[in-house]
Amino acid sequence: MSSVVDLFIGENITAEHQRGGTRVALPTADFTTHGVIVGMTGSGKTGLGVVLVEEVLRSGVPCLLIDPKGDLTNLLLTFPDLAPADFRPWVNASDAQKAGQSLDDFAAAQAKTWTDGLAGWGLGGADISALRAATSFTIYTPGSTVGVPLNLVGSLRAPTGTADAELVHDEIEGFVTGLLALVDIDADPLSSREHILLSNLIDTAWQQGRDLDLPTLVGQVADPPVRKLGVFDLDTFFPPRDRMDLAVRLNGLLASSSFAAWSQGVPVDLDAILRPGGKPAAAIVTLAHLSDQERQFAVSLILSKLVTWMRRQSGTTDLRALVYLDEVAGYLPPTATPPTKKPIMLLMKQARAFGVGVVLATQNPVDIDYKALTNAGTWVVGRLQTERDKARLLDGMTAAAGTVDVAAVGDTISGLGKREFVLRRAGKDRPEVFTSRWAMSYLRGPLDRDQIRSLMSGREVAPPASAEPAAPAAPALGSDETSVVPEVAADTPVRWVDPAAPWLASVGGAAGGGTRYEAAAVARVRLRFDEEKADLVVDQEWEAVLFPLVAQPSASTAVAVDYDDRDLREAAPTGAAYALPAAPVKERRFWTAMRRDLADHLVRSRTVEIFANRDLKVYSRPGETRDDFLLRCTAAADAKADEQAATLRAKYEARAKTVRSRLQDAEDRAELARDRQRSSRLSEVAHVAGDVLGSFLGGRSRASALSKAAGSLGGIASRRGRSSAASDRVDAAENKVGQLQQDLADVEADLARELTAIQTAWDAKAAAVETVEVGLERTDVQVTQLVLAWLPVG
């Protein structure tokens, strides 16, 4: 890992467009916040990019260069001697013709131009020699053997060193999206059946730690080692006929002679690519020979692998590796979502923490996603083609930096000459204007196929992979193995367990299959639990695997599984080796004994638990919970309590009727006594008081006359005696009413006590729930299927 180094990319210029003498150097750490280089054709953008890469390599940092046009291959044209003979094989005949020179003279002129140009920047052959000695330069040509081919599809190696499931899924998504694009299937990862199936096949293999290759993947499309996608059965979600159509389409890709090169060459191992032999590398992935779809596939897969590699690195604040994407517009559009867009956006958002810098170079900023531009901290802008390009660029620069003087920078951009650029750095308010230094690499333009082949001559290339899936090689047989299926009793079916059976690993098989097979017994048994008293009949099905199959297997060792007939194939696989079974599988009595043993074992061990209330004679139903059963018992007890309470009705109706009748009579007599009492009192007072008060208050009589009248009041005493007797009769009548009311309350209390006693007794019976085990009888057990199943074990 390098320490922070300044990258010497040029020198400031004056208002007169002359070099100002102040070096422009960018710390390597600046590029962990990424960069953007923008400029029209002829602006010097490509030369600046080459200079930047040269400086990064000189600092000891490796570079992964995505090169759609082939310009970056010029990085291999470095000549320490700066001799005309070194330039002669690489000069363009058309350029010599335009200059009116022979090829030799033009080569000599180019050598002098480069010698003088480098000298003007304090550089020379020694610097070129040091760069070449310290750096490994490689031109990779995916889909072609012209350079060093990259094996993009021949080996889908399972990622190692990361437990980040999301990251692995992103890598799978990039591969599958690109692969389907090659066969003209525009697949949405969330809705496309093709994308979902291929992604699940790769993910299943990787979760099991198994590598894949494309021929194997295509074969699995027609016959997948999975049974379900999401909540749906595979055949419902993606019917076999449709899967075969996809497999045929992908197989056409494999069968194409032009596609064979995609599975040749070195694997996409970023550790080896970025630092081969410990040296920092200029790994140039050139794409000029590919179609647009093929470019998308190659770039998406390489960058997805890069993201996976990046996540395995430790954090750092300095530059660990630089990713340079030339002419990035088609890979990062503003609205569309090609396969390359997601990994590029991931790098722009997350790579900083891992010391991976990204530089995006383009002629047309309007064709790049705005969100990507805002993640760049360093901006280098050359001459632009249109005002629209300039406006879009200034918008992005303002969003990224926040303090850009848009008018001033816009005017500066408009006045730039060739190889002149505006530099905007994160953390600096004022932009700088500079000219790029002379490149050490000879900038002759894109190399042709023969030139690339010449430069990469002698590099080791992996042998081509077959376009057709190879048949499995016959395994070497051990002393206990045979390639012939061992003989089995005539009436015992023989099956082969499907490698996709979900229970395979749980019984001791090899998940995903294998070529070595061992014998197992697979059974399906029908069970009937019946209990006459409970009116209960419960039918169950029990399925199990006995493995390994020993000479005297015990049914108690069987592993219960849930299998269906698809898990047991009738066709034998090719290239299988069979372990000779220890059990006498060819003898009929062995299987007869196993059937008997299975039935006996289940009679001894299998029961169904139900809830019972013996007082109420109520039993639970299959699947009924204890709480639900208690509710049923309570309802039954309430019904019984209601029946018993009904028998009290006649008894208490007679008692209550008698008391209510007597009470009514007593209340009538009491009311009559009260009426008589009121009448007696009125007569006693009104007889005299009426006369005396009337005369007195009327003022009609004299006092003497009144005294005579008052003398007549002596009769009041006798009338008062009669009133007192009436009051006693009222008291007696009311006391009788009170006594009868108490009698009625006593009747009600007696009834309440009896009803409470009844309800309490039945509540106790409702709560008396116990668990009862219902067992099997021998006639309740029927072995409906028993097969010898060959189990893949490795």
Q: Distance between CA 41 and CA 9 in Å, rounded? A: 20
Of 245, 244, 250, the closest CA to residue 183 belongs to 250
Q: Which residues of 150-178 are buried (b: 16+ CB within 10 A; e: fewer)?
A: bbbbbebbebeeeeeeebbebbbbbbbbb
Q: Distance between CA 181 and CA 173 in Å, rounded? A: 12
Q: Is the pLDDT of residue 435 over 60?
A: yes
Of 226, 219, 201, the closest CA to residue 211 belongs to 201
Give the pLDDT score at 661.
Answer: 76
Which CATH number is associated with domain 1-79+125-149+278-461? 3.40.50.300
Give the pLDDT score at 139.
Answer: 95
**Domain definitions of the chain by residue range:** 1-79+125-149+278-461, 83-123, 151-264, 481-607+780-792, 649-771
Rg (CA), the chain: 51
Beta carbons of 783 and 596 less than 8 angstroms apart = no
Per-residue pLDDT of 741-780, as tens digits, reads: 787 777 677 777 878 888 888 888 888 888 888 888 888 8
pLDDT band at 302 (very low <50, low <70, confident <90, very high): very high
Of 18, 128, 704, the closest CA to residue 417 belongs to 18
Read off the tokens for 666. 């007593």
User: What does the pLDDT average to over 452-481?
Assistant: 61
Give the pLDDT score at 456.
Answer: 92
Give the pLDDT score at 640.
Answer: 85
Q: Is 184 left (phi over 0), alpha (psi -120 to 50) or beta?
A: left
pLDDT band at 405 (very low <50, low <70, confident <90, very high): low
pLDDT band at 162 (very low <50, low <70, confident <90, very high): low
Beta carbons of 676 and 775 less than 8 angstroms apart = no
Give the pLDDT score at 621.
Answer: 81
pLDDT band at 594 (very low <50, low <70, confident <90, very high): very high
Q: How many helices (H) and strands (E) does the chain have?
A: 22, 26
- Cite the DSSP H helix spans in 699-768: 703-711, 716-767
Q: Distance between CA 791 and CA 513 in Å, rounded? A: 9
Q: What is the dihedral of CA 670, 672, 673, 679, to 10 degrees?
A: 150
pLDDT band at 26 (very low <50, low <70, confident <90, very high): very high
507 DSSP assignment: G
Q: Distance between CA 49 and CA 75 in Å, rounded? A: 10
Q: Is the pLDDT of residue 710 over 70?
A: no
Q: Distance between CA 270 and CA 310 in Å, rounded? A: 9
Give the pLDDT score at 463.
Answer: 44
pLDDT band at 683 (very low <50, low <70, confident <90, very high): low
The rounded mean pLDDT for the chain is 83
Give the pLDDT score at 689.
Answer: 47
263 Cβ partners below 8 Å, 6+ apart? 151, 152, 153, 154, 155, 213, 214, 464, 465
Q: What percent of the chain has pLDDT over 90?
A: 37
Q: Taking the CA of residue 205 as centre, how many other CA atoms within 13 Å lie in the half-sphere pointing to its CB? A: 21
- In degrees rounded to 5, what are phi and psi of residue 463? -65, 150
Give the pLDDT score at 534.
Answer: 77
523 DSSP assignment: E
- β-strand partners of 523: 544, 786
